[in-house]
Amino acid sequence: MAVATPVVVRTAPDDTPALQPSATAEPTVAPTRISEVLPDVEPQPTAVPGGTNLPLPSNVNVNWTGCASDGECHWFNFYWAPTHEVVMQANEGPDKVWHERCHAHQHWSINGGDPLAPSDYDLESWYSTSEGVGYAQAVSGLSWPWTNSAQNTLEDFAWTCAYWYYDPGYLLSVSPDRYAWAIDNLP
């Protein structure tokens, strides 16, 4: 709205000025401003460094012969509890070595790495440890992200653990829920 500007007008006979409004300017209309709110964009999560101190039974060795020192042999990689050996086939990558080391960790979780009964060389009693119970609850209902692996919670844990220590960024990309569990539960 325009404001009138006073104009001095002389009137007769006493020449006392009187105030009269001048012509009023037309009001200018401000342009309509539209405020655009951009949609929330979630930043891509960034992986933190993985763990550095995986508890293992004492004297865990990596054996690249495909056979444990007591003669146990398989065509696949395995952790052999009686001899505390990660037994690898030739030319396997570090992710697979970490996977088997994480099975050794499961042995440690069972009883600190003490000898197991032969019926438990497959580490099945890990399911009843606090770590096994907690992990099983955490991944219940999640999709299976791993390839070329038996589909059970022992293997799922070993892959989660392996990538937490070897490549946490990969773990975050394939399973943010498993990654979050690792942050909270693996040293």
Q: Which residue has the tokens 């030319």?
A: 91
Q: What tokens appear for 62 in the block?
A: 């990596």
Yes or no: say if 107 and 123 are a contact pair by the CB < 8 Å rule: yes
Yes or no: say if 20 and 8 are a contact pair by the CB < 8 Å rule: no
- For residue 47, what pLDDT is reported? 74
Q: Is 110 exposed, middle or buried (0-12, 13-18, 19+ CB in 10 A)?
A: buried
Of 90, 114, 86, nearest to 100 by C-alpha is 86
Q: Which residue has the tokens 């990309």?
A: 173
- Give first-to-last CA distance, the chain, whole Å: 69
Q: What tokens appear for 187 in the block?
A: 């040293």
- For residue 164, what pLDDT is reported? 97
Q: What does each of the 187 residues of the chain score in pLDDT, given as a tens digit?
A: 555 555 555 555 555 555 555 556 666 676 666 656 655 666 667 777 788 899 999 999 999 999 999 999 999 999 999 999 999 999 999 999 999 999 999 999 999 999 999 999 999 999 999 999 999 999 999 999 999 899 999 999 999 999 999 999 999 999 999 999 999 999 9
Measured distance CA(152)–CA(149) in Å, rounded? 9
Yes or no: say if 47 and 171 are a contact pair by the CB < 8 Å rule: yes
